[in-house]
Amino acid sequence: MRRKAAIPSKNVLRLLNTGATVLVSSGQGRKRSVLAVAWQMPASIDPPLVVVSIGRQRYSHVVMKRARAFVINIPTESELPLVRTSGTVSGWETDKFEGHGITPEPAATLAVPRVAECPAHVECRLVRTHRCGDHTLFVGEVTGAFAISGFMGTRLRIGGRAKMLHHMGGEVFHLPGPRVRM
């Protein structure tokens, strides 16, 4: 048996791959925001529910609670600069849609912005929040989902047009590698 070393508590969550990194946008008028989020997941098929975990100190936290809606924008490798900006620039100090190369476009089913550069979007009406330590879980019911032609068929074609980013900690991201069949 191999010997195992203890992992510092601040690094424990890096053991868990939380899925693709997304850009969560929300807000109305001048009170809007976009944030890079790695902590997201599906929660229910019927009704379709998703969860994003947002730090309570984030500007997006305030905006999402006020708007009662949000969009999960799916970036790919080519949107990495937008992911970096969304994750490192503070919404408390600047509108990330202004002067940062992030273009807002109206969502199709809700009165909140989407990120135009992203090839896919999941629009959500906020149905519940749950405080978890220093974060809040935002539970959204999907009101619509949209993607550019060819982004996905009956299955998500990861490694094709869907080279979705996975945050590995700090400034490190991983792209999907070759497919493996079982």
pLDDT reading at 55 higher than 80: yes
Average pLDDT, the chain: 85
pLDDT reading at 54 higher than 60: yes
Asked if 59 contacts 32 with a C-beta cutoff of 8 angstroms, the reply is: no
Q: Which domains does the chain have, with CATH numbers?
A: 22-169 (2.30.110.10)
Q: What angle do CA 107, 110, 113 make, to 5 degrees?
A: 40
Least confident of 96-100, 133-137, 164-168: 164-168
What pLDDT sits at residue 159? 46
What pLDDT sits at residue 165? 63
> 0.75 exceeded by the pTM?
yes
pLDDT classification of 171: cutoffs 50, 70, 90: low
Q: Residue 7 CB: number of other CB atoms within 10 A?
A: 10
Q: In this predicted model, what pLDDT tens digit does every residue of 85-122 receive, in sequence order?
A: 888 888 999 889 988 889 999 999 999 999 999 999 99
What pLDDT sits at residue 150? 74
What pLDDT sits at residue 113? 97
What pLDDT sits at residue 169? 62
Asked if 75 contacts 86 with a C-beta cutoff of 8 angstroms, the reply is: no
Region 33-60 average pLDDT: 94
pLDDT classification of 149: cutoffs 50, 70, 90: confident
Asked if 112 contacts 60 with a C-beta cutoff of 8 angstroms, the reply is: no
**In a 3-state reduction of DSSP, which class is residue 74?**
strand
Write out the two tokens for 60.
């997006």
